[in-house]
Amino acid sequence: MGIEVKDLLSVHDLSTTDVNKILDLAKMLKAQQKSGEQHHLLKGKTLGMIFQKASTRTRVSFEVGMWQLGGTALFLNANDLQIGRGEPVKDTARVLSRYVDGIMIRTSSHDEVIEMAKYATVPVINALTEMMHPCQALTDIFTVMEHKGKLKGLKMAYIGDGNNMVHSLIHACAKVGMDIAIAAPKGYEPDAAIVAEALEVAAVTGSTITIGNDPLVAAEQADVLYTDVWASMGRETEQNIRKIAFAGYQINNEVMNVAKADAIVLHCLPAHRGEEITDEVMESEQSVVFDQAENRLHVQKAIMVLLMKQRTKSL
């Protein structure tokens, strides 16, 4: 058991085979959890969880997930660690590696996560940076598979900011041959280098990636509609500017009407109802937002098992 990579820093680092292993194991673990079947695959293992950003879903899902897997999770607030007082990341990485079997980190700097993985001798899981959100994107395609029965050939429409969420979604869709159409205001499109990376993969898997500025064009005949807050964590000071720039970039009935009749709606949460999505759509039968939120638990458990069970690096 295991996947080819030692750490999960970006979906782009995973092979299509790796992605499918994660999805398959998540399905099995979810079924076991629902049936009450014990699955202590990480018995005796410990996950250190470094948080430099606030969290609801990430903290609870990783902590509960480790407990369900028979292991232990340690919540490590960056303000309580020496890393918050200037200790180099490379030192923290090597020290924690002597105590724990895996490190999960949620922070702003993607370079910091890369450095953590470089010096850690145990697997490192990126639980969000300003550039990537791989655990969420893998959860998203798992949720789509649950509701649609397949991924290849489906169309996802993403409406909103070209942020870390979009970057990971582009990679995830490309890996599984799923089409993605993005509509973002001018100046807020996803990073061109990340799009270029994904296009190389898409050329092999048959996925199409389109970047535009019209939400109705992106949503046309979409199987999945996806959005996120207009101002991501850390960009709250831009809230007023973004409210103007993103006016019209909302999943509402008009957008729903151009998508397929059985389209599902995703949002990584927290949602600002009345901004990027209407309350009516959030509460509609087509919204699977809370299935999606639950699935963070199951997908992250699969990630932890595949990285930590047999891939713990030797000291």
User: What is the rounded average pLDDT of the residues 253-278?
Assistant: 98
- Is the pLDDT score of 228 beyond 60? yes
Q: How many CB atoms lie within 10 A of CB 186?
A: 7
- Is the pLDDT score of 210 beyond 70? yes
Query: Structural domain boundaries of the chain?
Result: 11-132+296-308, 134-293
Question: Are the folds of 11-132+296-308 and 134-293 the same?
Answer: yes
Domain boundaries 11-132+296-308, CATH class: alpha beta
- Is the pLDDT score of 29 beyond 60? yes
| Residues annotated as catalytic (active site), given as ranges | 106, 133, 136, 228, 268, 296
Q: Which residues contact 256 (CB under 8 A, 6 or more apart)?
A: 219, 225, 263, 265, 281, 284, 286
Residue 98: φ, ψ to 5°: -80, -15
Dist. CA 315–CA 300, nearest whole Å: 25
134-293: which CATH number, 3.90.550.10, 3.50.50.60, 3.40.50.10420, 3.40.50.1370? 3.40.50.1370
Q: Which region among 25-39, 219-233, 272-286 has the lowest average model confidence (pLDDT)?
A: 219-233
Q: In this predicted model, what pLDDT tens digit does every residue of 292-310 receive, in sequence order? A: 999 999 999 999 999 998 6
Residue 184: φ, ψ to 5°: -135, 150
Residue 185 — very low, low, confident or very high, per pLDDT cuts 50/70/90?
A: very high
Which pLDDT does position 233 carry in this prediction? Answer: 65
User: What is the rounded average pLDDT of the residues 285-291?
Assistant: 98
Residue 104 — very low, low, confident or very high, per pLDDT cuts 50/70/90?
A: very high
Distance (Å) of CA 292 to CA 11, 136, 266 = 18, 9, 7
